[in-house]
Structure 1
Amino acid sequence: MNLEVRHLRVVCAIADTGSVTKAASLLGLAQPAVTAQLQRIERALGGPLFERGRRGVTPTALGELVLTRARVVLPAMKGLQEDAARLAGQVVRPNQWRIGAVNGPILGGLMSRLAESDGTQVLTHPSHWADKLAELTAAGKLDFCVVGVCGDTVPGAPDDGLVWREIAIDAIFVMLPESHPLADSWEVDLADLAEAQWASMPGDGCFGDCFAAACARAGFAPRTMHEMDFGNALDAVQAGHAVGLCKATFRRVDGIVTLPIAGGPLRWRHLLGWHPRGEAAAYGDAVLAHARAAYAESAARNPHYLKWCEANPRFGPPLPIA
């Protein structure tokens, strides 16, 4: 077997992720296919490239040699293709994007729109942590990241050089069980929930501090804030043990109602980020337009939210990109 550039990409993906399974996900391939390809590469090169351990795979001495050469060859080949395309006057659109996303209403619709518009495949990377996704984007391991942040903050390090564009601004709603006395309200004053216990999903940023400040302005300090994963938070709300916090675009769940907080004291900005010198930069505005359309579609599923936004125009679907 002759060694090809695609084989070097496989070796680098396994080294970068520390796992054949994770490399398969990154490459958009089935795990058995990547395993079989690695075995063929190792036979062609005369020995194992990785050692398997409890914490994943690590390169052997032969693997380190191959990786050192591959990390020179792959950028050179990519540069050759880009230079040749520019010389020929062509625009080469990648057939897949690596997109990281925190829990939110945008990724699914964005994937559908990219696939429908030009057949682009999306390789996803989920995380609770916006800062982690920003770090991966700055390092070139993701093409785009879709994150949410509280207030006017932006994720990542101040000097990471990422471009951030606003997709939309969500209001923060409360989640109540359908049996709650306030469940039929148009909106809820925070002060009316002064005795509640609270449930929220994990994440980074200043949201906890902003929530505490909003409660203080309403005249109370929250009794308890339980940080839970998504499923457990829903269970706690459905059982009446806690009041939840969620984005206004949260999908309806049986047994739970979502209501605006009077005055909109908390907001959640959905952002799209990319590196200005990355391959994705030329397509940033196009992906942003798809992301905004995906958000608007999600918001439209909640007529209560759209009606509430008429009186609170700081929130809701954005205007189209000019």
Structure 2
Amino acid sequence: MDLELRHLRILLAIAEAGSLTRAASALLLSQPAMTTQLRRIEASIGLPLFERSARGVVPTRAGELVISHARDAVTSADRIRNCRLRLAAGLDPVTVGGCSGPILSHLTLHLPAVLSNPVSFLQLAATGEAMSRVGDQSIAAGCLVDLDGFGTTPPDEVVVDVIGREPLVVILPAGHPLTRERRVDLAALADETWILAPNDTGCDDYGALADACGAAGFAPRVSPHRIGDTSIQCDLVAQGIGITLAQGSARARAGVVMRRLTGDPLLGRHLLAMHRESPLTGARTLLLDLARGAFDTRCVKPG
């Protein structure tokens, strides 16, 4: 694995925080994802860079040397960023939009540092709306999330790249008997009521759920409530109104528990969509690299 700037920032964050947990929080990563990234970095270098203890981590001698060079490299990159920002004063601003999730969050944090154009971000409620805005060029690029096999066909003038596929998880009330299981069989949820998001022209949530439940031997009972906000969904689940689905990378909230489904019967797709005449066409590779980096570090893999 070739080290990238994001890997160097991870090393600096760990060294500054003295703890993998605190460094993960500062970079908006999960602690397991941070640990995985550090292992990959150390495997690439061939030496341990930190000594672990109950009180945290401290750099090894090799780690001190690598961190010193990493600090120089990141400082140089920041200077380049400032130069680009000054040059960007004469460039047209662009807007990147999309559905809530780790890809949009990651781009919001890191894209302005490497993009010449001034960039703003717009969170959109639905995949269909995001696809429509990419198509009419009201946004320069879109980060979309749909369900594998139940998404919409993009317009001819829109190019869509699949960043990765992530298993959906079921959100249960904290006291539900199935929370004792590491994974939940979909068939065990046959008597539950499902809370779904509002109808989305870009993603057939009900069709995907009905297909998976049908394969498990039952038809899902769906609540009349159509709620897209995850926080409200979790409040309803916590009160026993029903259960719902979420991206595998979603963060747990008080009163509910998230569990993967046995066999991962429902997969979410993280997508990057761009009009063929988008002002960011020349930066497409850059956006894809950032999006894939976010997926690799923050999303759950099938299996």
Q: Given that residues 111 and 121 in structure 1 are in contact (C-alpha distance below 8 angstroms), is that contact kept between their aligned partners in structure 2?
A: no
Q: State the match for 2:119 in structure 1.
A: 122
Question: 2-side partners of 1:224 and 1:153: how far apart?
Answer: 18
Match of 1:252 in 2: 252
Which secondary structure does the structure 2 equivalent of 1:252 belong to? Answer: coil
Contact 2:172/2:238 (<8 A) preserved: yes
The size of the alignment, in residue pairs, is 213
**Percent of residue pairs identical:** 26
Structure 1 segments (4+ residues) deviating >6 Å: 90-93
Does the 8 Å CA contact 1:95/1:119 hold for their aligned counterparts?
Answer: no
| TM-score in terms of structure 2 length | 0.64
Query: Residue 293 of structure 1 aligns to a residue in which SS?
Result: helix
- Tell me the alpha carbon deviations over residues 240-288 of structure 1, each in whole angstroms, 9 at most, x when there is no partner: 2211111101012122211111111111111101112221111111111
Residues 45-92 of structure 1 show CA distances to partners (whole Å, capped at 9, x for unaligned) of xxxxxxxxxxxxxxxxxxxxxxxxxxxxxxxxxxxxxxxxxxxxx999
Q: Which sections of structure 2, spanning at least 5 residues, go unmatched?
A: 1-86
Q: Which residue pairs with 1:224 in the alignment?
A: 222
Q: RMSD across aligned C-alpha pairs, in angstroms? A: 2.5
Q: Report what 2:194 is aligned to.
A: 198
CA displacement 1:276-309 (0-9 Å, x = unmatched):
222111111111111121233323xxxxx56xx4
Task: Show the counterpart of 2:297.
Answer: 297
Cα pair distance change 1:117/1:280, threshold 3 Å: closer
SS at match of 2:176: coil
Provide the residue aligned with 1:73 in structure 2.
none
Listed one character per residue, the Cα deviations across residues 92-117 of structure 1 (whole Å, up to 9, x for unaligned) are 99574311111222212111111333
Cα 1:224–1:152, aligned 2, differ >3 Å: closer, same or farther? Answer: closer
Partner of 1:104: 101
CA, structure 1 residues 298+269, in 2 after alignment: closer, same or farther (shift >3 Å)?
same
1:112–1:270 distance in 2 versus 1, CA, 3 Å: same
Instruction: Classify the secondary structure of the residue corresponding to 2:179.
Output: coil
CA contact (8 A) 2:160 2:274 kept: yes
Q: List per-residue Cα deviations over 1:156-196 (Å, max 9, x = no partner).
A: 6543x111111121111100122110112111011111111
Name 1:281's counterpart in structure 2. 281
Q: CA deviation at 1:121?
A: 4.6
**Cα 1:93/1:287, change in 2 over 3 Å:** farther
Cα 1:153/1:249, change in 2 over 3 Å: same
Larger radius of gyration: 1
Unaligned runs of 5+ in 1: 1-89, 300-304, 313-322
TM-fit CA distance, 1:201: 2.3
What corresponds to 1:210 in structure 2? 208
1:66-145 matched pairs, under 5 angstroms: 94=91, 96-118=93-115, 121-145=118-142
Give 1:134's aligned amino acid: M
What is the CA–CA distance in structure 2 between the aligned matches of 1:153 and 1:233, rounded to whole Å?
A: 22
Deviation at 1:133, TM superposition (A): 1.9
Shift in CA distance, 290/96, structure 1 to aligned 2, threshold 3 Å:
farther
Q: Is the 8 A contact 1:114 1:120 kept in 2?
A: no
